[in-house]
Amino acid sequence: MSGPADALASFLDAAVVIGGVPLLLREVVGNLFGLASAVGGMRRRVWAWPVGVVGNALLFTVFLGGVFATPQAVDLYGQAGRQVFFLLVSVYGWVRWSRTRREGGAGAPAVTPRWATGRERALLAAVMVVGTLGLAQVFARLESFGPYPDAWIFTGSLLATYGMARGWIDFWFVWLAVDVVGVPLLVAAGYYPSAVLYVVYAGFVVWGALTWVRAHRQERATTAGAGGPQDPAVTALG
């Protein structure tokens, strides 16, 4: 009788061949969890965070292809490393959204979308530039497949996840900037399920951004009608 260890080993090695190209089952499943997490984020549901964590854990093993013997045998250190930091940022988002959900009562969303203030946007831009330039040097020494694209994806992904935790509408556009670089990199490295998902994400990002903008306008109108305080980002933007 096979034990849990054998079942885990079978899952890690499971693959399907499409058009002569082997695709790891865990890459497909990990990306499906990622997509489900994105849907939950758009709908502002707390479960988006733990679902995303499962996907991150699976994709961590995928992107260290040389270590975990994936068909690509390519180590994308930026892609793998960001899964680890995703876990940390996801815990922050999970706690933050859970607290907001409890305080809001039954039926309340876990976060109230708003635009980032001018200062917050400037900080995002600065971290994006400095993080990309700095991490590229690290990834180059690790023989990353593409140090600058890896660094861009790594930095942008963390900023987008943090922005989602904070409820900034801007995070959707940071994700779009990540997708533009991520698709060519993943195709070149042979991570086709991930590349396809990035293309799907691009369309989903537009949908998510429009959904959050609409929710922001509706909730701002409700707050203004009730004589409540203005969103600080709205005040800053005039």
Q: Domain boundaries in the chain? A: 4-237
The tally of CA atoms less than 13 A away on the side-chain side of residue 195 is 12
Residue with tokens 């993080």: 131
Q: Which of 19-33, 43-57, 96-110, 209-223 has the lowest mean pLDDT?
A: 19-33
C-alpha span between 238 and 235 (Å, rounded): 5
Mean pLDDT of the chain: 80
C-alpha span between 160 and 181 (Å, rounded): 14
pLDDT in tens, 135-171: 999 888 876 667 888 889 889 989 999 999 999 999 9
Q: How confident is the model at residue 104 (pLDDT cuts 50, 70, 90)?
A: confident
Which of 25-39, 77-91, 115-129, 211-225 holds the top average pLDDT? 115-129
The per-residue pLDDT for 182 is: 85
pLDDT in tens, 39-89: 999 999 999 999 999 988 888 887 775 555 555 555 566 667 778 888 889
Q: Between vectors from CA 13 to CA 9 and to CA 14, what angle results, nearest 5°?
A: 115
Higher local confidence (pLDDT), 235 or 198: 198
- For residue 12 the two structure tokens come to 């890690």
pLDDT above 70 for 125: yes
pLDDT above 60 for 1: no
Pinpoint the alpha helices (H) of 16-168: 25-42, 48-63, 65-68, 77-104, 118-141, 147-166
In the 8-state DSSP scheme, what is residue 168? B
The per-residue pLDDT for 116 is: 96
Higher local confidence (pLDDT), 52 or 237: 52
Quote the percentage of the chain above a pLDDT of 70: 77
C-alpha span between 225 and 228 (Å, rounded): 7
| 21-24 vs 15-18, strand pairing mode | antiparallel
pLDDT above 50 for 131: yes
For residues 16 and 63, the answer to whether their CB atoms sit within 8 Å is no
C-alpha span between 124 and 122 (Å, rounded): 5
Q: How many CB atoms lie within 10 A of CB 192?
A: 18
For residues 56 and 50, the answer to whether their CB atoms sit within 8 Å is no
The per-residue pLDDT for 233 is: 42
pLDDT above 50 for 216: yes
The structure's pTM equals: 0.77
pLDDT in tens, 21-37: 667 788 888 888 988 99
Q: Over range 195-202, report the average pLDDT.
A: 81
